[in-house]
Chain A
Amino acid sequence: MDFTLLMASIGIIIMSLVIIGSATHINTPGEERYYFVQRQGIFTILNIAAAAFFMNFDYKMLQGYGKKLYIFNLVMLLAVMLVGQSALGAQRWISIGPISIQPSEFSKLIMIVCLASVLEERVGKLNTLDDLLPVAAYMGVPFLLVLKQPDLGTSLVFMAIFFGMVFVSGIRLKLLFGIFGAGIAAMPILWHFLKDYQKMRIMVFMDPNVDPLGSGYHIIQSKIAIGSGMLFGKGLFEGTQSQLNFLPENHTDFIFAVVGEELGFIGCVCLLLLYLVVLWRGVQIAKDAGDVFGRLLAVGITSMFAFHILVNVGMTMGIMPVTGIPLPLMSYGVSSLTTNIMAIAILMNIQLRKQKLLF
């Protein structure tokens, strides 16, 4: 068992529950003040139980399910388009009984498994565009479905996962940089396909004053929250920005701002260091993995975490555009929580079974 990874993850989750409590005004009287913490807590326990059960199985069996998972993923994403509920201008949710699930969250982990099984036999053979194209097309279909929802954030996560995994699979650097070059050249065309609110967010990122009443306001308020936390923070439940509702979405996408305001620079560094441990263990597990599939899985998961952390925390501090992707293991949300705990479980499973091939 990878105790370092386990402890770091549990540390983040505990911090998450405390901060969600603070952000949802657990200290003010009211009927449902424990709702968010309770819900997140219950699902954490359920997920950890499921993850522990999953430890009994060898992660390698996942490879066999690659194709089935891929089709399941497409069906799920199509279902969102057909029966999904929209929130904030995007269709992302499906309701199953009392729970609404967000398929694009699960979709990330599923795509990591699918990509790992496809890339496994291609490691070292990604030299030309022709070699890469089948893999890109394989990834492209769910990518476009997510983009169509529209969920720009998740589709960018797909790209981060893809590039992280093909990089470690030994793609020729010339090819990789060629793709990046072409991507940059194509940006003006892609701009054209963005929705108005997405364009706005990017423009706001360049200059928050473009939209002082919309997302520009969120960024400014979030920066004020974090900055005003200074070295030690204002203390739990004491953050004026978050307690007075100045911060939007403060228990989901902007949760880092609450950490910054209430726990200060020290709290931020602690949390970021916990993330560093998770990422570093991810890389080590990839290195020590018993097989190529395991190594690619670990790389994909680490890519996913790293990108989420960069974009989410960067957004709250005004160095990344607002894309609405959650902070792993911190943000409130059942779909995201489940996905991330499962991802950690897969990492630990890979670590658990590394020796078997080293006899």
Chain B
Amino acid sequence: MTEIDEYGERLKVFGWLAVLVIVVLIARACYLQIYDGETYARLAEGNRIRLIPAMAPRGNFFDRNGELLVVNRPGFTVSLLPLNNPVSDEVVERLSVLLKMPKEDIQQKIDAHVGFDPIRIKTDVMADVYSVIEEQKDKYPGVVIETQPIRDYILNEEGAHTFGYVSEINDVELEKKKDEGYKSGDIIGKFGLEKIYDKELRGADGGEQVEVDVAGKPVRRLGRKEPLPGDDLYLTIDKHIQEAAEKAVDERLRLIHANAAAAVVMNPQTGEVLAMVSRPAFNPNLFARGISVKDWNKLNNNPYHPMDNKTITGEYPPGSTFKIVTGTAALTEGVVSPEEQIFDSGHHWIIPKGNADGEALGWLNFRSAMAHSDNVYFYEMGNRLGIDRLERYARMFGLGAITGIDLPYESDGLVANRKYKEKNFEDGDWYLSETFDAAIGQGFNLVTPLQAAMVMGEIAANGKRFKPHLVNRIVGPDGKIVKEFKPELLSTLDVRPEVIQLVQEGLHEVSTYGTAASIFRGFPVQIAGKTGTAENPHGRDHGWFVAYGPFENPTVVVAVVVEQGGYGAQSAVPIGREILEAAFGIEKPKEDNKAKQAGSN
């Protein structure tokens, strides 16, 4: 036991250290409770510490040239600070009158709230409400005005489907995203780019601790964490083209008394989307402010579905624009030579189907058949190819599958095929007439306007299919690039270059002497195009137009569909022309465009 005694000294030191621990703690308690007790008692009794969150401003949207598209503006929110005593009926009543809100709604918000952060009663109130509350603070105990960034879609309805909208997180979203740090009351992106890039756009909320008095009025600020703004998105969208496209669509719809349309403008060599229009549209600012029941019902009951982004969710029969696929397949498979002439007597010799107006165009080769969009010629191509080869080529172009654009809720369309018929129809057999229909883009085939633009873009880019995208780069609040999006080559058509060239020439002739020639007469830039008129069992036909230009080195591809617009040449083609004019800087009246025009010639 001698060893133990040797270290008895150590044990003594150890014991005194333990005593020291207790002494230090008692000393600290003495300091807090006796010396500083009054201060803390004041904080705890009448006064309280409150957390007032400071919402981080969401990142801005810029167009490809750095022009602002979506920003934030400061808005006033009326909130209640949770108090020890229940909020008096009187205050609720006064608020109800001031904010023009039912009493029950306010009470419900108070009852549903837990925690110490303010109870948001109404967001984005007008300045007069702000001044009433500020001037009559005694009448509104516990009521505070918070300044919050509110999303401001400065272009209103323009680009609404692309940009999307934000609003308060709902219970289902909260449940799914709790682990990612989302909390109740958060504003999140619900649609469009706001939804897809929500994580990057949202930033990090800050807040401050304030000391409030008995009435809940802030008297002292104790600490503050600055909110960190979200990242900015620099889009591929060109504001100039976007605005021109919106205007062109609206004007044409008014002229021909149609209600719905969609247009996509892209760069076929990169996959960058330059403009996207969907009609009818909605104003995303309604959601940022908290949409009223009346407005919501109006949007919901509109038979033309303004909340759908028709460029990616609208599925239409492609009509004659599908002849691009049929033609490419026929030449590649060698079922026809470019020179072979086929006689159009007004209808096909096996099944008496013909052109829409029953006209007979006589002897046609590949290029003239494409230029005049002759149905009989392409029925025969369908006849020679068979449905399976048609299906294979349609899929090679990317039809029947989503394009992968960075927008939510994209539809995949449909490629006519045997399996689909077997699965969905009692009579599952495939008939030749269905192959005929498929060959000219009718029957089962369905494409979205974006897919139509992609098909045309692949021809323009010599068979290359680039992933469509809307964002060029994401830039942090410090100006550093967080992420950059480069053109992504998805696939290349397994087709000989001569074939693509022949298709390109046929499409070029559409604009020189074919179906779009009258509208493109005198157009200073050489283009290729294809019109389409898609039969619609529910009403007037849908009008289509797809085009690209300049013909030699295409930088712009456009796809336009006008729902129940009748002939493509009268509905979609004029819109396409105006969009191309804007894209090439050849608008008529403006003086400053002349310089650009001279430069491009």
- Residue positions of A touching B, CB distance < 8 A: 123-124, 164, 167-170, 208-213, 216-217, 220-221, 223-231, 240-241, 244, 246, 260-261, 264-265, 268-269, 272-273, 275-276, 279-280, 282-283, 286-287, 289, 292, 295, 299, 302-303, 306, 309-310, 313-314, 317, 319
CB-CB under 8 A from B10, the residues of chain A are: 167-168, 170
Of B18-26, B237-245, B339-347, B477-485, the stretch lying at the interface with chain A is B18-26
CB-CB under 8 A from A209, the residues of chain B are: 209, 222-224
Residue from A212, A226, A295 within 8 A of B4 (CB atoms): A295
Is A123 a contact partner of B3 (Cβ separation < 8 A)? yes
Is B21 a contact partner of A306 (Cβ separation < 8 A)? yes
Q: Is B108 an interface residue (CB 8 A)?
A: no
Q: Mark B1-30, 1 if CB is under 8 A from A, else 0.
A: 001101110110111011101101110111
Cα of A274 to Cα of B129 in the assembled complex, Å: 58
| Chain B residue at smallest Cβ distance from A220 | B49
A309 touching B22 in the complex, CB below 8 Å, given contacts A217-B51, A241-B44: yes
CB-CB under 8 A from B334, the residues of chain A are: none
13 sample A-B contacts, Cβ–Cβ < 8 Å, listed by A number: A168-B7, A216-B209, A217-B51, A220-B209, A227-B32, A231-B33, A246-B49, A264-B33, A272-B25, A283-B14, A306-B17, A309-B25, A317-B28
Is B225 a contact partner of A211 (Cβ separation < 8 A)? yes
Residue from B19, B34, B206 within 8 A of A280 (CB atoms): B19
Interface centre among B17, B21, B208, B224, by most chain A C-beta atoms within 10 angstroms, is B21
Of B35-43, B93-101, B190-198, B253-261, the stretch lying at the interface with chain A is B35-43
Within the complex, the shortest CB–CB distance from B12 to chain A, in Å, comes to 8
Number of CB contacts from chain A to chain B under 8 A = 165
Interface centre among A212, A260, A309, by most chain B C-beta atoms within 10 angstroms, is A212
Residue from A261, A275, A283, A295 within 8 A of B15 (CB atoms): A283
The main secondary structure of chain B at its interface with chain A is helix
CB-CB under 8 A from B116, the residues of chain A are: 246
* 5 closest residue pairs by CB, A with B: A227-B40, A209-B223, A228-B44, A212-B223, A283-B15
Cα of A210 to Cα of B226 in the assembled complex, Å: 10
CB-CB under 8 A from B28, the residues of chain A are: 314, 317, 319
Q: Is B207 an interface residue (CB 8 A)?
A: yes
| Chain A residue at smallest Cβ distance from B29 | A268
Is B29 a contact partner of A265 (Cβ separation < 8 A)? yes
CB-CB under 8 A from B3, the residues of chain A are: 123-124, 170, 292
CB-CB under 8 A from B41, the residues of chain A are: 227-228, 230
Cα of A211 to Cα of B206 in the assembled complex, Å: 9
Residue from B8, B37, B84 within 8 A of A231 (CB atoms): B37
Q: Is B45 an interface residue (CB 8 A)?
A: yes
Q: Is B53 an interface residue (CB 8 A)?
A: yes
Is A230 a contact partner of B33 (Cβ separation < 8 A)? yes
A224 touching B44 in the complex, CB below 8 Å, given contacts A217-B51, A230-B37, A240-B84: yes
| Chain B residue at smallest Cβ distance from A173 | B10
Is A302 a contact partner of B18 (Cβ separation < 8 A)? yes
In the complex, besides A272-B29, A273-B22, 9 extra interface pairs with C-beta distance below 8 angstroms are A168-B11, A209-B222, A212-B222, A227-B36, A227-B44, A260-B32, A268-B29, A282-B18, A299-B14
